Structure 1
Amino acid sequence: MTTSSLSDRQAALGGLAALERQLAKDLECLGWPARDWMPPQAAEDGVSVLDVAIIGAGQAGLAAAAALAQQGIRAVVFDRAPRDFEGPWASTARMETLRSPKELTGPALGLPALTFRAWFEAQFGADAWSRLDKIPRLQWMDYLRWYRRVMSVDVRNDTAIAAIAPRADGKVLLELHTPGGTSRALARRVVLATGRDGLGGPAIPAFAQTLDRARWAHSSDVMDYGRLEGLRVGVVGAGSSAMDSAATALEAGARSVDLLIRRDDLPRINKSKGAGVPGLTQGHFDLPDELKWRLRHYINASNVPPPHGSTLRVSRHANARFNFGCPILSVEPDGPALRVSTPKGEFVLDFLVVSTGFRIDWSVRPEYAAIAPHVRAWKDRFTHAPGQGDQELADSPDLGPVFELQEKTPGACPGLDRIHCFCYPAVLSHGAVSGDIPAISDGARRLANGIASLFYREDFEHHFARLEAYDDPELLGNEWVPA
């Protein structure tokens, strides 16, 4: 390292240290975290009882934990990934940059010193910020690592949730798997901050389900794309993950990449971006059901175009081909290759990347076995208008005002409403406040405020008894002389 680069690095570290001092002062002035007010919970048979357990330490889980701390509620966050690899950013995501505008404040919860911009400028300066177009994906992961540290979020890594079982006594039992073995915990409230596929998994088309798994992957799979060097690769789909997968394969040395695109053209307009106004963020939950469905179905049906940069990242390769009007009719093994039939003809390929999104399907997540039959979905109580059929929306959980799950049959699963869905499938009930960057702070505050209210109502007798016992005198009796 040269003397110049060393001094630049030292200056950057000094800038970040100054930012952290400012953030610490801001938190102190705001009384954040708030003083402890929750009644202590005694362990049961050696099993600790948490106030809130959050499943998932990505940006939603971190924001939820920080917002709860502002309310004086301590949360423990569990994540199956090793430390610093929570969420998709450093594992399965393959975009070069985020698609969100860099100015969005994301999980900063109204704290200027906690924004990505403040973190970036403290290290690289205001000029570098003005030159920045979009936030690099891995730099966003670095920011979230910093966020976790400066907000003192209690994350337990390498911890998978094997079972979630609500009980009628007001607690939810969690079975935890770690490299050291199996353990249990109890929580009064559980928050599912489990991301895009949090209530299901990848949507796998029928043609892939019978193929040798060594010949295809879903775009969300953890995979070394270096194995595609020299191969003829097909990518099914044309969304952002399809473009990122195609570009990664090309950059890894694929012989060719054929994008097999069902539509006759790519959508041009990101309708969800046009919907993002404060009125929608704050008012979606209170809309009539018909309007909620109409809005989300319109966005789904319009399709979200892949980002401009991601598309150029593919098209700049001469060996990339955009094949429109090519839904998959069948896929058959042909020796070591795959013969893919479409209305535009056959493609002989060595490997397929299936970029077909995700689906809500509780049955594919064994940890939800105790609650899956009881969760009320929108299809259980709502009939959409003619022509507005939408399987994703139909399968979405019908959530209460604090993102809580609700019973399909009242009384069949006591305690189900102690589980809060703070991940993408909440979008129909609450709007886009629980998964994406733009309004994640609004959603986290709604969740934390609501949980604080539920706890206070539930523990009212405890708080009233503390009120009756409160005896800190404001006056001592010697402040005046009677007339």
Structure 2
Amino acid sequence: MTTSDPASSSSLAALEARLAQDLEYLGWPARQWMPARQAGGEPMLDVAIVGGGQAGLAASVALAQLGVRAVIFDRSPAGSEGPWATTARMETLRSPKELTGPALGLPALTFRAWFEAQFGLEAWAAMDKIPRLQWMDYLVWYRRVMGVDVRNDTAVTGIQPLPDATGVRLALRTPGGESSVLARRLVLATGRDGLGGPAVPAFVNALPRSKWAHSSDEMDYGRLKGLRVGVIGAGSSAMDSAATALEAGAHSVELLIRRTDLPRVNKGKGAGVPGLTQGHYDLPDELKWRIRHYINVLNVPPPHGSTLRVSRHPNAFFNFGCPVLAIEPKGEAMRVSTPKGDFEFDFLIVSTGFKVDWPNRPEFDGIAAHVRTWKDRFQPAPGDEDQELDDSPDLGPAFEFKERAPGECPGLGRIHCFCYPAALSHGTVSGDIPAISDGAKRLASGIASLFYREDFDHHWANLEVFAEPELFGDEWTPALPPQERN
């Protein structure tokens, strides 16, 4: 990681002063206009956000710009929100360094401004991609300078819309014990596995849990030193896991790759134009499905650098056309059968992505059965079936859930899905760096609009009693009739 020069603290302080001035010029945060609400005498938050990673931070700041108060709850300790300092194993981010991420149009809030203030323009020019842990450092700074209200070490263990559809109750597990809060609206900024968890293939059931891990598991890779390791998959996280195992001293790493070759082109990157970012939600269902299914089928290649990080090791082996047919324990090891022959491993890492998996998230038990999904909405053409897309939630314009059967879960629409499973409805604006600011602004403006509509009587009453004078009556002298003038 680049180290700062002695003047970095003063340079960073100067950047923060510049940002503060920009915020003042823009009137950010906006003045408060939301009425305080209660339910049964209990105060209600305007918005609760689950997840304090980059999506949750961007959502909170975008809401603040519109004068809507938000509180974030995150189960991790401060500085460990999101995957960057825990389960992510890439050396650098996969996105180009120039992308502005959650900066919401504020130049002084960008990673580049933060980096250059400490390390200088020359260091920025020399950087290829952003180091992963440095991105976490930036997000910690972002949270501080934007005054985001994050309650760390607080797990949301239950979510239940109120029967009268006026809000949502969150059950919380905190260091001080169990508690709950009420919020008028809830945003799920829960990341890549936002409505489920790892997609784990059935063949691992043949193994003790101590003999395998998913690439998203928190794990000490030092335990793999001297072991024969198999990695299932060839995506970005597979490469990161394989490289980390090799760097930790694994005896060997065999990548078992179902495809006969690695994809070479990132079609998702090719799709990333402002028209798609702003217009995906308004596309016909057929076109939404077409583009997301096309990207899924062609798959996203692992980054160039991540692949080289593996292949530079002589004890790394890329096995193509090698899907797993069966696994059986063999003493303290295992035998893995594939069309290319059998492999013997001491440990297996499955890098098979994530899926919507409501039973894996007990905090959603109160709503899971009622959420309308795309399989309730759309029937793809034969040959275009896609389980990931089928299971995706069918969301409204403000990322809000819809009921599968109207009236069975009043208040479900007060929960907003601002995480990866929103991609089919809204495009990739709810988690990934390139368009996270666009998504956060869309979410915030949608929520503000919904609040205004449901509080219309309150705002109407305020309008009627509003009596701040612009004129006092002494700014002019009434003219005499023409015939009375000299």
CA distance in 1, matches of 2:69, 2:15: 25
Q: C-alpha separation between the residues in 2 aligned to 1:210 and 1:193?
A: 34
Aligned residue in 2 for 1:428: 424
**Once superposed, which parts of structure 1, at least 4 consecutive aligned residues long, lie more than 3 Å away?**
42-45
CA RMSD of superposed structures (Å): 0.9
> In structure 2, what is the equivalent of residue 14 of structure 1?
10
Could you tell me how far 1:168 is from its partner in structure 2? 3.3
Residue 393, structure 1, aligned to residue 396, structure 2 = no
> Is residue 206–residue 329 contact of structure 2 (8 Å, CA) maintained in 1?
no
Q: State the number of aligned residues.
A: 476
2:359 is the alignment partner of 1:363:
yes
Q: Which residue of 2 aligns with 1:142?
A: 137
State the partner residue of 2:97. Answer: 102
Q: Which residue of 1 aligns with 2:150?
A: 155
Match of 2:445 among 442, 449, 467: 449
- 2:215 matched residue in structure 1: 219
Of 70, 77, 98, which aligns to 1:82? 77
**Structure 2 CA distance, aligned partners of 1:386 and 1:113?**
50
What are the superposed Cα offsets for residues 296-354 of structure 1, whole Å, 9 maximum, x if unpaired?
Answer: 00000001000000000000000000011110011111001011111111111100001
What is the match of residue 314 of structure 2?
Answer: 318
Corresponding residue for residue 163 of structure 2:
168
Distance 1:63 1:242 in 2: 28
Counterpart-to-counterpart distance in 2, 1:446 and 1:198: 19
Q: Deviations over 1:185-208 (max 9, x none)?
A: 000000000000010000010111
Aligned to 1:375: 371
Q: How much has 1:43 moved relative to structure 2?
A: 6.3
Answer yes or no: is 1:282 the counterpart of 2:278. yes
- Hey, what's the Cα distance between the residues in 1 that align with 2:39 and 2:85? 37
Separation in 2, partners of 1:388, 1:234: 31
**Aligned partner of residue 27 in structure 1, secondary structure:** helix
**Partner Cα distance (1:83, 1:480) in 2:** 60
Is 1:71 paired with 2:66? yes
Counterpart Cα distance in 2 of 1:165 and 1:268: 45
Give the TM-score taking structure 1 as reference length.
0.97
Letter in 1 for 2:430: S
> Shift in Å at residue 147 of structure 1?
0.4
For residue 53 of structure 1, the aligned residue among 36, 45, 48 is 48
CA shift, 1:209, in A, is 2.5
Q: 2:128 aligns with which of 133, 149, 165?
A: 133
- Matching residue within 183, 205, 220 for 2:179: 183
Q: In the alignment, which residue of structure 2 is the partner of 1:410? A: 406
Counterpart among 269, 274, 281 of residue 273 in structure 1:
269
Tell me the residue number matched to 2:484. none
Q: Which amino acid aligns with 1:193?
A: A
Question: Does the 8 A contact of 2:325 with 2:336 survive in 1?
Answer: yes
Selected match of 1:341 from 306, 316, 337: 337
CA shift for structure 1 position 480: 1.7
Deviation, 1:41, is 2.1
**Secondary structure of the corresponding residue to residue 10 of structure 1:** coil
Give, in whole Å, the separation in 1 of the partners of 2:175 and 2:446. 34
Secondary structure in structure 2 of the residue aligned to 1:86:
coil
Q: Is the 2:15–2:113 contact (alpha carbons within 8 Å) kept by the matching residues of 1? A: yes
Aligned equivalents of 1:435 and 1:385: distance in 2? 29
Identity %: 75
Deviates further, 163-172 or 346-355: 163-172
Q: Mind listing any 5+ residue stretches in structure 2 that lack a counterpart? A: 480-486
Equivalent-residue separation in structure 1 for 2:205 and 2:421 (angstroms): 24
Tell me the secondary structure at the aligned position of residue 83 of structure 2. Answer: coil
What is the TM-score of this pair, normalised by structure 2? 0.97
Separation of aligned partners in 2, 1:430 and 1:55: 19
Kindly indicate whether the alpha-carbon contact (under 8 Å) linking 2:428 and 2:435 is maintained by their aligned counterparts in 1. Answer: yes
User: Hey, what's the Cα distance between the residues in 1 that align with 2:38 and 2:442?
Assistant: 28
Q: Partners in 2 of 1:482 and 1:452 — Cα distance?
A: 44
Residues 259-318 of structure 1: CA deviation (Å, up to 9, x unaligned): 011111100000000000000000000000000000000000001000000000000000
Matches of 2:133 and 2:299, distance apart in 1: 26
- Cα offset, 1:70, TM superposition: 0.1
Are 2:36 and 1:32 equivalent residues in the alignment? no
Q: What SS does the aligned partner of 1:73 have?
A: coil
Distance 2:205 2:290 in 1: 33
Alpha-carbon shift at residue 180 of structure 1 (Å): 1.5
Shift of 1:44: 3.9
Name the residue aligned to 1:476: 472
Q: Distance in 2 between matches of 1:443 and 1:200?
A: 21
Find the aligned partners of 2:299 and 2:150 in 1 and give their Cα distance.
36
Q: CA deviation at 1:10?
A: 3.0
Give the counterpart letter for 1:359 in structure 2.
K
Classify the secondary structure of the residue corresponding to 1:173.
strand
Q: Deviations over 1:25-73 (max 9, x none)?
A: 000000000000000123645x431000000000000000000000000
Deviations 1:163-222 (A, max 9, x none): 000113311010000121100100000000000001000001011124200000000000
Distance in 2 (CA, whole Å) between partners of 1:179 and 1:76 is: 17
1:301 equivalent among 290, 294, 297: 297
Alignment partner of 1:438: what SS? helix
Take 2:406 and 2:79, find their aligned partners in 1: how far apart are those partners? 41
Distance in 1 (CA, whole Å) between partners of 2:263 and 2:303 is 11
User: Partner of 1:439: helix, strand, or coil?
Assistant: helix
Match of 1:124 in 2: 119
In 1, the alpha carbon distance for the partners of 2:134 and 2:39 equals 40
Query: Which residues of structure 1 form unaligned runs of 5+?
Result: none
